[in-house]
Homo-oligomer: A and B are copies of this chain.
Amino acid sequence: MAIQPLQQGSNAERSRHRNRKAVLGQVRAAGTMGRAEIARALALTTQTVSNIIAELSEDGMLLEKGRLSAGRGLPAIQYGLNPEGGYALGIEVRPDAVFAALLDLQGQAVVTERVALDDNTPAAVLGLTQAIYGRMLAQVPAATNRMLGVGIVMPGPFGVTGIAGMGTDLTGWQEVDAAALFEDALDLPVVLSNDANAAAMAERISGVGQGIASFAYLYFGAGLGLGLVHGGQLVRGAFGNAGEIGHIPVNGAKLEDGLSRLSVQRHMAAAGKDARDIDALEALFQSGDADLMAWLSGACETLGHAMTIVENMFDPQTVILGGAMPDVILDYLVQNTALPVVSVSNKADLPHDRLVRGASGRMTATLGAAALILNNALSTPLAQAH
């Protein structure tokens, strides 16, 4: 989380490292590719790509996928990711539970676990996490020597700020260096993030955000969060707390007062209905519950405000909506929200819809935690614009 040295020099070894990642990223994005094709995309020579591919195949990260004849010339041998070539662990620490997922290099969840927590102190969580990790490796022995790292999602904001977030619900975590603790406990490289950022990465790696370099992700957590991806990388802000959109006031109320899990729950509770569970919410929606529909109408309006802010601040290619809500409700919101007219995104011939539903479902943030690691393994910081 600390701010890194602003610049780092380059040498042969670091170039190679970078180029390996670039090749993997390119192949992943395209599904399969030939050497020459990759070389053109990366502005490298075929020979270089050949060397790197030999190395990556040796390491088990790439697989031959036959030859593809495209016009004249020798048909190119196609290469694709070997899903079993690398694994990333995602851990989501909630106040009352720990979710975990093991993703393969392709971004597929191989094993997932959800464990309830009655003690969320660091010692307890770390012990539980170790146990989960052990069980997962036992189920997927191939992963043992191929772990790329672990992504940890914890409720933000990080550090003591003016926002009393869920952070207060995790006892004993405020003062500790969580990343260091997990690194010690699991002996893996660690990336720490909040839920919205992780969710955005989940979409980038295996959802709607694939191939989109700049997008924003509006996340239904307890509150309303925002993950920002620019040039293929997360924009985290100086202290890792960028995207706390829920606390922005519009017309006297905070955005998340009208658009969040807590918001529906309160609204429905006031009508004497229980909407704490996702399935309960879905059932209410399916039955056309009048109270829920009333809430949705307000939520659409609030979402419109949020869109205005996000689009005008970031000018993203698209905004993805997801998180702890049933898909049907997310779809309803996407379809019934009037997109802002006064917006830099309001223009003709857009290649993407301005607002779309996320694809990664209920465990988005957990998957995203692992996706943070995959993204590191498959992409290099963006080349400079000229």
Residues of chain A at the chain B interface (Cβ within 8 Å) = 3-12, 14-15, 18-19, 22-23, 25-26, 29, 41-44, 48, 157, 159-163, 189, 191, 213-215, 226, 230-233, 235-245, 247-252, 254, 305, 308-309, 312-317, 340-348, 376, 379-386
Indicate if the CB atoms of B247 and A161 lie closer than 8 Å. Answer: no
CA of A233 to CA of B382 in the docked complex: distance in angstroms?
11
On whether A3 and B213 interact (CB within 8 A), knowing A9-B19, A19-B9, A309-B309, the answer reads: yes
Closest partner residue, chain B, to A165 (CB atom)? B344
CA of A308 to CA of B254 in the docked complex: distance in angstroms?
11
- Tell me the minimal C-beta distance from A7 to chain B in angstroms: 4
On whether A6 and B308 interact (CB within 8 A), knowing A242-B315, A313-B313, the answer reads: no
CB neighbours (8 Å) of A347 from chain B are 159-162
CB neighbours (8 Å) of A15 from chain B are 9-12, 14-15
Indicate if the CB atoms of A344 and B241 lie closer than 8 Å. Answer: yes
Indicate if the CB atoms of B163 and A226 lie closer than 8 Å. Answer: no
- Tell me the minimal C-beta distance from A34 to chain B in angstroms: 16
Closest partner residue, chain B, to A191 (CB atom)? B386
Closest partner residue, chain B, to A21 (CB atom)? B7
CB neighbours (8 Å) of A9 from chain B are 15, 18-19, 22-23, 42-44, 48
Show 30 A/B contacts (Cβ-Cβ < 8 Å), sorted by A.
A5-B383, A6-B382, A7-B25, A7-B380, A8-B383, A9-B22, A9-B23, A9-B42, A10-B15, A10-B19, A157-B344, A161-B343, A162-B345, A191-B386, A214-B238, A226-B313, A235-B235, A236-B385, A237-B344, A238-B317, A241-B315, A242-B315, A244-B312, A244-B315, A249-B305, A249-B308, A251-B252, A380-B384, A381-B381, A381-B383
Indicate if the CB atoms of B11 and A44 lie closer than 8 Å. Answer: yes
The interface residues of chain A, by DSSP majority, are classed as: loop
CB neighbours (8 Å) of A44 from chain B are 9, 11
Indicate if the CB atoms of A346 and B161 lie closer than 8 Å. Answer: yes
Cβ 8 A contact of A162, one of B162, B248, B342, B384: B342
Cβ 8 A contact of A239, one of B5, B162, B315: B315
Closest partner residue, chain B, to A313 (CB atom)? B313
On whether A232 and B6 interact (CB within 8 A), knowing A344-B239, A347-B162, A381-B381, the answer reads: yes
Indicate if the CB atoms of B161 and A344 lie closer than 8 Å. Answer: yes
**17 other contacts beyond A10-B18, A163-B344, A237-B316, with CB at 8 A cut-off?**
A6-B379, A7-B22, A7-B25, A162-B340, A163-B312, A163-B343, A191-B386, A215-B238, A230-B237, A238-B316, A239-B344, A244-B344, A245-B313, A248-B308, A249-B342, A251-B251, A254-B342
A4, A315, A376 pick with most chain B CB within 10 angstroms: A315
